[in-house]
Amino acid sequence: MAREILPAEVSIQVPPNLNRERINAAINHGANDVGGISPITIDYINPNMIWQEEQYLIKELNLAGFSLKERLPVYPQYEKYLNTRMRGIIEELKADEKFSTSEN
């Protein structure tokens, strides 16, 4: 429902550890971001909900036609709101090829 009412440029994030069985359904209905996952930290907001194995998540996303990519913690369209120092850091990090700027 969120995708039906929100503009296309608004990302919809679905934490995979809170939606284990429904991650593909959420993606098929417009979610385009699975948030942060970490093999070395817990989910501090929901500590009882462990992260899935990265390979499981990669497989599930591939089934839906997506891939798991690292991204910076700020979407490109919001970089202009960062102070000069933070924008400089973001620009340095964007030079690293592992950080995707595409939506998929």
Distance from chain centroid for Cα 25: 16
CB contact at 8 A, 68 and 32:
no
Q: What is the DSSP letter of 22?
A: G
pLDDT score at 5:
93
User: Residue 31's closest CA among 73, 77, 66?
Assistant: 66
- Give 31-47 pLDDT, tens digit per residue: 989 888 877 788 888 88
Alpha-carbon separation of residue 16 from 19, 21, 31, 89 (angstroms): 5, 9, 11, 28
**Band (6; pLDDT cuts 50, 70, 90):** very high
pLDDT in tens, 60-103: 888 888 888 888 889 999 999 999 999 999 999 988 767 755 54
pLDDT recorded at residue 103 = 46
H/E stretch holding 86: helix 84-94
Q: Tokens for 16, please give them.
A: 């995979």
